[in-house]
Amino acid sequence: MQRTLFDADHELFRASVRAFVERTIEPGLPTYMAERLIDRAAWREAGEAGFLGVGIPEELGGSGVGDYRFNAVWLEELAKASLGVATSFSLHTDIVAPYLVELTTPQQRTRWLPGFCAGDIVTAIGMTEPSGGSDLAALRTTAVRDGDDWIINGSKTFITNGSSAELVIVAARTNPDAKAARGITLFAVEEGMPGFTRGRKLDKVGQHEADTAELFFTDLRVGADAVLGEVDRGFVAMMERLPQERISCAITNLAHADAILAETITYARERRAFGAPIGSFQHNKFLFAELVTQLDVAQAFIDACVLAHSAGELSAVDAAKAKWWSSQVQNDVLDACVQLHGGYGYMTEYRAARAWMDGRVTRIWAGSNEIMKEIIGRDLGF
């Protein structure tokens, strides 16, 4: 079915992103995977091309385009090549960017956003803790006032871009007496601050090209100019921005699965068994019919969500639907692609195997699928 989400300007932008992917990302993937890190040259090239500053004011180094559909194009083309690369860049452009644009003072924006757009400052966000998982209200990292400063102690884990980021947004509890989600504040922590250290790069099952690390804060002193937004209102700020994170995940989930399915269809046309292409066997033919239908139907809903988000109308409930359903469809498709490849599907030299490993986490992060269903269920009055 013809998608109607994008216009000619979006497709011109897509051609530019695709050229960047073909020129830089795809040739660099073996190195990124080996080093567990996207090299800074790729970040700076993306910045020079204007890909990192979509939605950020021109006077601060961005393009000033407030159309989220350009973000969607950027993420789709990255995810087709590598879910791990899409993860690292989307964390920067889709998840961190709104905090730095919407919650900062003019001085903070001038300080960070030009480097952010140029690829000189890579960013991360420190929400998840070893004991917390999806329960953001159970944060144990603390920030205690000391005059005009704050002293931060605690740790974060599973932090994308954690080993390379120059700027990390850290959620810390500032009011221990407040109930549940109240009393959390966001802080901007910069590389080199005494008391801020990084642990090892975590050894993940997949997405090796995306660096993921533990972060530690030991008597880390930051000034009042490190606070993002209002004190004790950090949890609200996070909840307000989670719909964009979740629709961002949904976009990459489907683009990633679609690319691998297309490769698997080609494989099934060429691979022969019992004297015929394996795709011609009725079971496989029916399976492909189911998979392409699942993707097309899911894409229609995700496109509607992108359009709603571009208009500022995407609800948290619809974002939760998009996140859990897209990741479920993605994992169903990838598992079937591995099966259709047979023994070769279990070999990491084949993209289907790597994609299968890369995709499994999408049902866990950005709020597990169980949390997404809880959000939807509560909206139904349960």
**Catalytic positions, please?**
245
Q: For the chain, give the secondary structure using H, E and C.
A: CCCCCCCHHHHHHHHHHHHHHHHHHHHHHHHHHHHCCCCHHHHHHHHHCCCCCCCCCHHHCCCCCCCHHHHHHHHHHHHHHCHHHHHHHHHHHHHHHHHHHHCCCHHHHHHHHHHHHHCCCCEEEECCCCCCCCCHHHCCCEEEEECCEEEEEEEEEEEECCCCCCEEEEEEECCCCCCCCCCEEEEEEECCCCCEEEEEECCCCCCCCCCEEEEEEEEEEECHHHEECCCCEHHHHHHHHHHHHHHHHHHHHHHHHHHHHHHHHHHHHHCEECCEEHHHCHHHHHHHHHHHHHHHHHHHHHHHHHHHHHCCCCCHHHHHHHHHHHHHHHHHHHHHHHHHCHHHHHCCCCHHHHHHHHHHHHHCCCCCHHHHHHHHHHHCCC
